[in-house]
Amino acid sequence: MNTRSPLDCPSWKKLEAHAASWRGATLAELQAGDASRARQMVAEAPGLRLDYSRQLAGGLTLRLLAQLAAERGFEEWRAALFAGEKINDTEKRAVGHIAVRADEAGFSRLKDFSEKIRAQGLVKRIVNLGTGGSDLGPRLLADAFGDGALDVRFVANADPVELERATAGARPETTLVVVTSKSFATQETMANAAALKERGYANFIAATANAREARRFGVSEILEFPDTVGGRYSVWSAAGFAGLLAIGGDAFSEFVAGGREIDGHFRSAPLEGNVPALMGMLGVWNVNFLGLHAHAVLPYAHRLRLLPAYLQQLEMESNGKGVDRAGRAVGYATAPVLFGAEGTNAQHSFMQQLHQGPLAVSADFIDAAAGELLSAHARAQADALAYGTQAGGGTALLPHLRHPGNRPSSILGLRGCGPRDLGRLVALYEHKVFTQGVLWNINSFDQWGVELGKQLAQAILTRSS
């Protein structure tokens, strides 16, 4: 497989020179001088439309980025991903979340089991114990589409306050505890599981890749998922079981179907019309050539309010790497700092910084067709960031009223905001992350930076005991 540093690719040098030519350009002038820009700089995938006309980029930019992808062996890496090859080289594993999405039989077993629990009426409350990807994915689903058939709570923190709140008013005999941990050794999760066991909770299910440890703990009902599925990619698997219980099998089927649609698009669409690949390439352009090291995700839909937190882990844990696949220090920036919030709330919080602060930030506005007012606000914020306001009525504006503009963003337009739409979004960002990992020559599927802190915490606890 191609592990050439992007710094050694001829296109990288061309992109650096090309970026210099953009330093005097403004999006306001580009938009005013080219009426076709808004029509041409769009791409579509199943159920969604990417408008990237507010990016500080043009046709040559995209051609050079596509050339970089070719020089980095993008098609070979993509084929290896879908073929199940061991592209997670530091852990010597394949990457299995796409295969899990395609596993109809495995999903049917999970769905049937969840429907049995929901239909029996014996369980009144679900408490999901898990952290990181074992929490963020199912929590996102439950918050977005929970239908109220079950009272589903989530505990990710070792702070006992969260556990107390999740179990307040619950009866052990009518509570089902779902212990979600790939290793079944995650310290926070297992501490919470032990605490509930001591309090008389006996109805446990394990969603794990380590059935042996689950049985040792005393769990008899075990939902396994393969160790090739990383936590931040695991919502499609048994690790998303609490989310499945919260929203029901039909809604979860729609969620998975949306992910499969984007898999097909990413696998077959040419780069110039491949939405996740375009998002990935434009992100590399912003980070490495325009010097934008923070990125905001702003969904204009209440159902998607937890999406930025989900994507924060997906992007920063996947691509926050400083060593490439050949073991070399990268010598260039990788994942930007990702943050975000529900769009209209963000407008009254941190978006002042985006509009007038001295440090420019790129952004994704997600217009989820949640209402005319929300769509108008999403479009207005993107326009304000892109075009700014320097003068009005022929008179110069007072300094505090000036908005510099020229801050790049994209608008992701969705047809709706249902489970299928969320499945499309999650898979879209997964493939964006993969594309950037290829261009940066890094492994997007390990997370050794997470492990050191765990080891040090255990050492501190051992010394103090």
Element (H, E) at 415: none
Residue 291, pLDDT score: 97
The domain spans of the chain are 6-90+255-449, 97-247
Residues paired with 151 in a beta bridge: 125
Catalytic residue among 317, 342, 430, 432: 317
Superfamily holding 6-90+255-449: Glucose-6-phosphate isomerase like protein; domain 1 (3.40.50.10490)
Examine the pLDDT at 317 and tell me if it is beyond 80: yes
DSSP, res 305 = T
pLDDT band at 74 (very low <50, low <70, confident <90, very high): very high
Type of residue found at 134:
S
First to last CA, the chain: 47
Residues 6+ positions from 8 with CB-CB distance below 8 Å: none
Query: Shortest CA distance to 419 belongs to which of 248, 240, 251?
Result: 251
Distance CA 282, CA 264 (A): 21
Distance CA 260, CA 372 (A): 29
Distance CA 392, CA 343 (A): 27
Query: Shortest CA distance to 319 belongs to which of 420, 443, 194?
Result: 443
Residue 393, pLDDT score: 53
Is this model's pTM higher than 0.85 or not?
Answer: yes
Residue 436, pLDDT score: 99
Write the pLDDT tens digit of every residue in 268-282. Answer: 999 999 999 999 999
Distance CA 89, CA 119 (A): 43
Q: Is there a catalytic annotation at residue 454?
A: yes
Residue 452, pLDDT score: 87
Of 3.40.50.10490, 3.90.226.10, 3.30.110.40, 3.40.50.2300, the CATH number of 97-247 is: 3.40.50.10490
Q: Is there a catalytic annotation at residue 342?
A: no
Query: Shortest CA distance to 179 belongs to which of 149, 146, 233, 216?
Result: 216
Which of 9-13, 30-34, 79-83, 105-109 shows the lowest mean pLDDT across its residues?
30-34
Residue 265, pLDDT score: 98
Distance CA 460, CA 292 (A): 38
Catalytic residue among 92, 104, 198, 348: 348
pLDDT band at 455 (very low <50, low <70, confident <90, very high): confident
Residues paired with 295 in a beta bridge: 338, 362
pLDDT band at 390 (very low <50, low <70, confident <90, very high): low
Residue 197, pLDDT score: 97
When pLDDT is averaged across residues 57-85 and rounded to a whole number, the result is: 98
Q: Is there a catalytic annotation at residue 317?
A: yes
